[in-house]
Amino acid sequence: MLAKSAALAAVLAAPASAAVVVPDSGTTNYEFYWAGGLGPIDGIDGVGDPDWSLTLTSASDVSITARDGFILGDAFELLVGGAYVPWTTIGTTAQGYFQATYQASLAAGSYLFSLRLSALAPGFTTGGAFASFTVTPTVVPLPAAGLLLIGALGSLVALRRRKTA
């Protein structure tokens, strides 16, 4: 019963629409836009989805980059699940446009990412920019003891075959 309640709460808390990031597709690029000045973006890839959703079936390294590219002066903030998170790196492109990257190792689960406009190019209240998501499943290394065990078992099998021959 508790699991059903949690699942229902997750569905009710989910946004009405969000652009879906497919985890196994390498790097996925998006164009996003705004038309109302500072605050949340208005849409992604020409659709009114103001958020990105990502569902991970296993632990993964996630990298998100936001980059302006049209008019100097725009800047963005990142929210994960509605909470602000600091960019891992923040700076500008060679042309002087805002560019920031967030990198994290995330556990299996569902995540909601949002961008907010925190600075505007002088004289503008509308604009567009780019975002990219790169999702890489975390590799779980096989412990050295496991390799030794496999080698020892293989040696025992070889010795047994040798004795019976």
Please write the tens of the pLDDT for every residue from 46-95. Answer: 888 899 999 999 999 999 999 998 889 999 999 999 999 999 999 999 99
Domain ranges of the chain: 10-164
9-19 pLDDT tens trace:
333 344 557 89
Supply the pTM of this predicted model: 0.74
Look up residue 20 and give its two tokens: 């879906």
For 10-164, CATH gives: 2.60.120
Tell me how far apart the alpha carbons of residues 119 and 6 are, in angstroms, rounded to a whole number.
37
